[in-house]
Copies of this chain bind each other. A is one copy, B any other.
Amino acid sequence: MNIKPLADRVLISPTPAEEVTAAGIIIPDTAKEKPLRGTVVATGNGTKDEEMVVKAGDEVLFGKYAGSEIELDGTKYLIMRQSDVLAVLEK
Listed in ascending order, the chain A residues whose CB lies under 8 Å from chain B are 1-7, 9, 11, 23-28, 30, 32-35, 44-45, 53-54, 61, 63, 65, 67-74, 76, 79, 82-83, 85-91
Contact = CB atoms under 8 A, between A and B. Distances in A.
A83 B2 contact: no
B87 A30 contact: no
B7 A83 contact: yes
B79 A70 contact: no
Given A35-B79, A86-B79, A88-B4, A24 B73 contact: yes
A89 B1 contact: yes
A9 B86 contact: yes
A52 B74 CA distance: 31
